[in-house]
A and B are shown apart, each in its own frame.
Chain A
Amino acid sequence: MAEAPTRARSTLLAHHLYDFADCEHRVALDATLDRSLRTPPDSATELLFEHGRRFEREIVDPLGYPAVEVDDGDWELAAARTLDLMRSGVPGIDQGVLIGPGRLARPDLLERLEGSSALGAFHYVPGDVKSALSPRTDAALQVGFAALLLERVQGLRPATGFLVLGDGRREVLDLDAIGTTVDDAVARAEAVSSGLAETIPFFGSSCAHCRWRGVCLPRLESERDVSFVHGLTRTRHRVLRRHGVSTIDELASADIAGMIAAGVPSDGLERALLQARSLLEGSVLRRRAVPVPRGVRRELFAFVEADPLERGAPFLVAWGEGAAGLGVVGSFGVRVVSTQDERRSAAAALLEILESQAVAREPVYVFGGRTPRAIESLCDGLGVSPARTGDLLGRVVDLAPWVRRAGILPVFRYSFAEVAAVARGAPRPRLDDADDALFVLHAARSAASDPDDVRVRLEAAGVEGLRSLAAIRAWVASGEPGSRRS
């Protein structure tokens, strides 16, 4: 890095706790590097942020709580205003500011509860509004951090907090049940932020969206960092580096027996070495046919994408059918849906195909867990009986685990896009490509302002998804040596 590290911003913010669980190096970069080096949010991430802000206001505004403004970055003043409001016993506070030595949190909500504290016969508990549909660790740590700071002003660390989730549900967090973990996370994040604990860049699944990707990814690429090898964790990365293995090339040519004798954990080491070789050679290693469940006469493919910004509602429903064993989509259907009626209609059409007499017992191929979850959601929306839904989902064959058994691929994450590229002989997707549902939807929306164009692009994405599924299905079962230069 050309930039001289400074510890100019060593204040620990709540979002550092949010980041910390994902990538601790991000916390270190926040504390040391000039913000101008950050990569601006891509349009999909911006959309996510904007949606988050809008959703937050939808939840918070109707509560009518007084809001705390921050004037000219004067956090001390904002914290004092927050404290004044707390002392006055208002039922809730919107965007209150809590500070402590080297710490700052701004929970979306502070709400008053009965129970004595230094403020009187009541105290406050923190809460955040999140678009996610289930409570996640990063969000819980953020709320726990706010609770830690609340203790300074009310003399009581609240035993509970809460999250308002994407479906509007309010989830009470038992903060006592995660208190030690919050303390540990805060201590570790502060050590990282202040430079006491050293971190190094590491290629992980969140790099594609990270604000520091412009700093880390070029460096990792130029150094051919060993973290690109799938299956390595930060801990194993550290162990390998300590034993002199820092690059893909070094791992690919490493003496496994020597490394094990030197104390490198042996489980999974051989696979990691082969994964490194596969990346270097750009070819599939240990290729073999695996007995993936196959249809008797016909085979089905399903590709359903759901929109996290619309509470996980499916927006793209695609299905295809082909003769057993060929891995080719003979006929297909694609529906782009945005209303409840459209979803019900698509679900009915999907079921009609999947349950039709000719294919009623044949496997339905998918990749990963998103499509089965979306199918279940569609069936629920249609009021399908549990027996039917259970029987249908029981036929689903997830190709993802079969891919790994079929060979070691020259890919970084074994994502659908990467695996499909191998199966279809296409170039590997870029490192910062995000292939989630939001990307598919937003890429289509941003590329075409005309709704019909959006629909056409999404339909094309659906067809491509089906073709990729079929290609993966055929590739997994064929066992033919595959080779592709990266």
Chain B
Amino acid sequence: MTGSSSVLDRIERLLHREHHAILLGHRDLMTLPLEERVERGDTLAGLRFLGEEPGGRIRLACSDNLAKHRPGDSLRLANSDSAEGGWGVGVTYSSFDDATGVLVVHRDPYRADGRFDLSQPLQLDPDAQSLTGLALEALARVRSGSGSGSIVREILEGGVVCTVDAAALRDADALSRAIAPPFDESQHEAFASALSQVPVALIQGPPGTGKTHVLARVVCALAAQGARVVVTAFTHRAVNHALRKIAEADPRLSVIKAGKVSGADDLRGTPVTSAASIRRLPSLDGRPRVVGATVFGLKAAWDADLFDAVVVDEAAQVPLAYASCALLAGRRFVLVGDHRQLGPIVQGRHDDPLATVSVFEHLAVSMPPALLRTTYRMNDGVNAFPSRTFYGGRLSPSAAAAGARFEFLPGGPWDDLFDPAVPAVLALVRHEGHRTRSEPEARLCVALALDRIVRQGGDPADLAIVSPYRAQLRLIRTLLRSGLSAAGYSGRLPVIDTVERIQGQERDLVVVSLVASDPEHLAGDHAAFFYSGNRLNVTLTRARTKLIVVASPLAFEAYPRDLAGLQDVERFRRLRRETPAIELSLRAAMPTASRA
């Protein structure tokens, strides 16, 4: 069914289905009771209005935030489902400070069709926002071949032949050698490839390999050569992160973020300036200029010949179906990402595997990316399994990172788990039948956190507790707050969140709670989520020196029905076999108070 259709046909079909899936999915979601929406992480309730600044920046008090929302998400701020005028106003999620409990959203001027009562509790619900129309418009341009459409078509259909310009390669080589701090060998290769290979070059950046550093240098070099460069990504946060790094890399550049003001909140105090849109860029001031925008903010550049080069950051999170929106903005492309980490988020359930494929993964099949091979984050022990499993053993820690060891104070009840000589360890607790919440695991995670923070005096900022399930994270937060309070500790909590929300972050110590111990449940529809290899990779690569994975042995024993699922489970089984493990009886894990 899908094999005979062209890629563009398949994309078109997916976009139409996705459009309906977004609208119907939102409609179905909003029919759920509020508690269920909160439990699922779709809605935040019980918010209190703190104030609003000019420009529509709204601050809200939020006691606990385990919602799925990410910066740039379109939400609706309202009093309640049933309140009068409850439709509320459209806002964009900006940030949340766990320490102060302050959540920031921005009014969306295009969705200001309701109201809310400041004195009453507020809630944030997702808004249905389908941008498939824009992607379909881009696809039509690609089909017609207008502007850079014909190149983009060749790229998407796999018909493009990349060539390396020998002179550009020589220049890039010399330029690369002069960069300070110096590139490592693989960064050098990636840099040279990006500057010399046309029309497309891919750079794959595994965790902690300096992907954004390389991207920033590539952009600076292209701009210095006179190329008009636009940097894009799927989210404002990713664009802003890249722009900050570019501005740091070359202060002589004029770096401009184009797009709605709410998407530039985290650029305050940086050299990056803002413009309302691509159409309203400030006039050139004699300096080379780099512009940033999300893939949805580039439409004005499709046929306008505004840019020569498009640099896509986090390209492994840009769904293939939306790639045209970005690629139509130029004729030369550098895509940076890692298709072995979390991929695109898709609303609908589609039979066509292309639905969940990113533009990076799609292109990587026919154009092997330049792999950044040195991680500056993980020590040798933490790096070993991910390198073997996800990068063919090609990822190595830098000399400094390799020998780094977890610093801890011995003498506590969990010294065997904290042992720095074993950087990655499985804490196996033999519980059974749990699906999304496991008290034995939660208590063990909390005991470890208490030991680290209270007895060892460790900085909570250097600790993260990660789990696939929000129900488990809530339980851990509740137990940890209570434990810290009982210990007279009033400082901030460590990061306790889902893998999705900590991608890109790192900590010295990461404790993972896998939770699930019902293999038949895991083998069903749930398998694709729980056993996702990409999610496992991100989970295991947040730690710098110490990784403790708390799990039941049953978490590794499912037999999903389809072959892809079976291959995913294989990685978990290998993790179990190849990682040092300490088995704890339920009794040992549960009475944390007595051991801690």
Question: Could you list which residues of chain A lie within 8 angstroms of chain B, going by C-beta atoms?
Answer: 20-21, 134-137, 140-141, 171, 173-174, 177-181, 184-185, 233-236, 238-239, 263-268, 290-291, 293, 373, 376-377, 380, 385-387, 389-391, 393-395, 397
CB-based closest 10 A-B pairs: A394-B20, A390-B16, A386-B13, A233-B520, A135-B563, A386-B12, A239-B433, A180-B573, A21-B559, A265-B434
Asked if B303 CB lies within 8 Å of chain A CBs, one says: no
Q: With a CB–CB cut-off of 8 A, which chain A residues contact B433?
A: 233, 235-236, 238-239, 264-265
A380 in contact with B1 (CB, 8 Å): yes
- The answer, among B13, B434, B563, B570, for a CB contact under 8 Å with A179, is B570
Q: With a CB–CB cut-off of 8 A, which chain B residues contact A387?
A: 12-13, 16
Q: With a CB–CB cut-off of 8 A, which chain A residues contact B438?
A: 265
B554 in contact with A185 (CB, 8 Å): no
Beyond contacts A178-B567, A373-B351, A397-B24: 14 other A-B pairs, Cβ-Cβ < 8 A, are: A134-B562, A135-B562, A137-B561, A137-B562, A137-B565, A173-B563, A177-B570, A178-B563, A180-B577, A235-B554, A265-B432, A293-B28, A386-B10, A394-B24
B569 in contact with A136 (CB, 8 Å): no
A-B contacts, 27 of them at CB < 8 A, read: A21-B561, A136-B561, A137-B561, A177-B570, A178-B566, A180-B570, A180-B577, A181-B559, A235-B432, A235-B517, A235-B554, A236-B433, A238-B433, A263-B431, A265-B437, A267-B437, A376-B351, A380-B5, A386-B5, A386-B9, A386-B16, A387-B12, A390-B15, A390-B19, A391-B16, A393-B17, A395-B20
A397–B586 Cα distance when bound, in Å, is 45
Interface size class, chain B: 35 or more
B520 in contact with A181 (CB, 8 Å): no
- The answer, among A140, A236, A265, A293, for a CB contact under 8 Å with B566, is A140
A377–B561 Cα distance when bound, in Å, is 23
Give chain B nearest CB distance to A139 CB in angstroms.
Answer: 8
Asked if B313 CB lies within 8 Å of chain A CBs, one says: no
Residue on B nearest A181 in the bound complex, by CB: B570
A109–B424 Cα distance when bound, in Å, is 43
Q: With a CB–CB cut-off of 8 A, which chain B residues contact A266?
A: 437, 439
Question: Could you list which residues of chain B lie within 8 angstroms of chain A, going by C-beta atoms?
Answer: 1, 5, 9-10, 12-17, 19-21, 24, 27-28, 31, 351, 431-439, 471, 517-521, 554, 557, 559-563, 565-567, 569-570, 573-574, 577, 586
A235–B12 Cα distance when bound, in Å, is 43
Contacts between the two chains (Cβ within 8 Å), count:
127
A255–B560 Cα distance when bound, in Å, is 33
Q: With a CB–CB cut-off of 8 A, which chain A residues contact B562?
A: 134-137
Name, among B436, B520, B565, the residue most crowded by chain A CB atoms within 10 Å (CB to CB): B520
A455–B409 Cα distance when bound, in Å, is 79
Residue on A nearest B12 in the bound complex, by CB: A386
B20 in contact with A390 (CB, 8 Å): yes
- The answer, among A140, A184, A263, for a CB contact under 8 Å with B557, is A184
Q: With a CB–CB cut-off of 8 A, which chain B residues contact A377?
A: 1
A263 in contact with B567 (CB, 8 Å): no
Residue on A nearest B576 in the bound complex, by CB: A180
Q: With a CB–CB cut-off of 8 A, which chain B residues contact A137?
A: 559-563, 565-566
Give chain B nearest CB distance to A351 CB in angstroms.
Answer: 15
B16 in contact with A184 (CB, 8 Å): no
Q: With a CB–CB cut-off of 8 A, which chain B residues contact A385?
A: 12
A290–B562 Cα distance when bound, in Å, is 33
Q: With a CB–CB cut-off of 8 A, which chain A residues contact B561?
A: 21, 136-137
A18–B455 Cα distance when bound, in Å, is 52
Residue on A nearest B6 in the bound complex, by CB: A386
A265 in contact with B435 (CB, 8 Å): yes
Name, among B435, B437, B566, the residue most crowded by chain A CB atoms within 10 Å (CB to CB): B566
